[in-house]
Structure 1
Amino acid sequence: MKVDPDITDYLLEVGTAALRGEHKNLGDEVGIDPQRVRALALPDTLSWFELVEEYWNLRTAATMTLSKTRSTQARRDWKRAITTYTRELGKADGEMSESECETHPHAPCDYECETYWSAEGYVTHGAFRTYITELDHDFVIQGFVTAYNEQRISRHTACRNLLTVWSHAEAPLETMGRENWAMLFESVGYVNDDGPAERPSEAIRLYRAAVNAEAAISGWSWTSSRKVAEKFIHWAGQERQIFEADVDPAHLLGYTDSRHEQEHLVSGLTLSDVRVSPSTLPPPQPIRRSR
């Protein structure tokens, strides 16, 4: 990967000026380190994965600060530096031809090509999310885990997309197993649809439709809405009951509302944690016979 040598000077110039106090807000809030900026601009010193992580951190800090600073020159310097760097970061060796990209825009092997993850697509998570949602249900988990294990995506991107993978996968627990899912969630921490999130501090009452208590605790998908749970009473041709549990925060893995089901992922419940939920459905009306 080659980056325009001028980018080093641009970044160092702005970073040094910030440290000297010429762009006081920029220096105080971003805390730019010239050596770190130089390493960022010289990709030979960092792996591709580390390079994009550094780019993400620097860009985020700079963007937030530039929205506050009054210095027109500082804005211009950073915009030029970031724009050039974004463009150059996407120019890696082994780039696929345009015809290949058009023919197989989301092939399972795409994540092996660094150019598929342009800097802009990477930090906005757009390219990866598109890749995941375009995969066949049977390959969603495989694609995600491979990309994560081979460090084609950062932990931040993994956090932002883990629940997307869960929602798009077909029978996720059966596909990858509870132990593997548990390790994955332990790795990224508690998440919601926006990424890393603060775990609830108190127990939450959740509901799940299941044929029996054993089936209730074996599944991880619970909802905070009893009405949502009731929709699954006759799901897949089996009669189910509504079970409820006051779930301790330690058992909560994440929360997603991508399917408008107020879904909480829960693991580690025991039979003593669940109970049949009192019905809120109206009682059946007596049949009136005509005379």
Structure 2
Amino acid sequence: MKTGTDLGGHFLGAGLDVWSGAEYPHQNLDESLWRMLFEAAGYTVDGKAAERPTEPLTLWRGSVPGRRRDWSWTSDRTIAEEFAFKGVRGRPIGVVWETKVPPRSLLSFDNGREESEYVVDTHGLRIVQAAVQVAGPVCCACRREADSATVLLAHLTCICP
């Protein structure tokens, strides 16, 4: 199989830019084509060929339930929480998802947007809603501290006054 460098770096340079530059890369190409292109490019870190990690990684994703299997994940839980709870770049409020990713499912790592982003082929992975980590009662939608001890953690709607 040809690698990204065998292909003259066309995908390695342009394809990864398309992935990291798009808000919803799955709307640009379907998963089978992305899978083929990432396989051709080989594993990369910040756009350069690199050794794939050898151990599984625990990664997080902040999204609505219907997008939990998309391929952009982060090693920084705080980033996932921002995407889940703060409506980053106009996204709807969601939850934090967690998965343990075997090395074979890691396609690339990019920190160009300071999001510690791993591109992960989620096919076959067990993805669970991450446990909520809070110091005290907070609204699960907007993450503000609540005045009341009654916090409905399953709600996706802000319960703050």
1:244 and 2:95 aligned:
no
Q: CA deviation at 1:160?
A: 4.2
For 1:114-125, list aligned pairs within 5 A.
none
Secondary structure at 1:185 match in 2:
helix
* RMSD (Å), alpha carbons: 2.4
**Would you say how many aligned residue pairs link Structure 1 and Structure 2?**
134
SS of the equivalent of 1:242 reads strand
Q: Secondary structure at the match of 1:269?
A: coil
Q: Is the 8 A contact 1:220 1:267 kept in 2?
A: yes
Structure 1 unmatched ranges of 5 or more: 1-147
* Alignment of 1:209 onto 2:69: no
Which residue of structure 2 aligns with residue 55 of structure 1? none
Structure whose alpha-carbon radius of gyration is higher: 1
Could you tell me how far 1:193 is from its partner in structure 2? 1.1
Q: Structure 2-normalised TM-score?
A: 0.72
Q: Which string of whole-angstrom CA distances, capped at 9 and with x for unpartnered residues, describes residues 241-281 of structure 1?
A: 111011011111000000000000011333x6111111223
- The aligned runs of 1:177-216 (5 Å cut-off) are 177-212=30-65, 214-216=66-68
TM-score (norm 1): 0.42
Shift of 1:161: 4.5
Instruction: List alignment gaps of at least 5 residues for structure 2.
Output: 138-144, 149-161
More strand by share: 2
Q: 1:281 aligns to what?
A: 134
CA distance in 1 between counterparts of 2:25 and 2:92 reads: 20
Misfit runs of 4+, over 4 Å: none
Separation in structure 1 between the aligned mates of residue 19 and residue 91 of structure 2, nearest angstrom: 23
- Higher-helix-fraction structure: 1
Partner-residue secondary structure (3-state), 1:232: helix
Q: How does 1:50-69 map to 2 (within 5 A)?
A: none
- Relative contact order, higher structure (CA 8 A, sep 6+): 2
Alpha-carbon distance between aligned partners in 1 of 2:92 and 2:25, rounded to the nearest angstrom: 20
